Amino acid sequence: MDYLRKYFCFIIIAIVYYLLPAFCIVDTGSGMFVLFLILPVFTFFTAVFFTLINGFKWYYSFIVAALWLPNIIILNGSAAIYAIIFFVLSLVGQLTAFAMSKILLRR
């Protein structure tokens, strides 16, 4: 059970990264909504959630970016930039959660 708890965020991210673009992007407007709003917000808050449960892990942001790479084949080559964007967003989310936990535990 500890194994599932440890990798729960990766499983959820993989499901959302592959199913949401495949089923929700039907035209340009929905594609922009999913790629510019839904996925970045989801990536940030998943990183916060992961860090609050497991602590700061340096490899988490790399795995989040690597999970996006198959979407280059599914969508197109221009989706490669999102791997970098999701890496940065997950790193910022982790750092935010790490700082929040340190501040809250200090009191």
For residue 98, what pLDDT is reported? Answer: 95
Q: How far is CA 18 from the centre of its chain?
A: 12
Residues of the chain with pLDDT under 50: none
pLDDT of residue 107: 64
d(CA 24, CA 54): 31
- Give me the DSSP letters along 55-68: ---TTHHHHHHHHH
The predicted structure's pLDDT at residue 1: 62
Taking the alpha carbons at both ends of the chain, their separation in whole angstroms is: 32
How high is the pLDDT of residue 73? 84
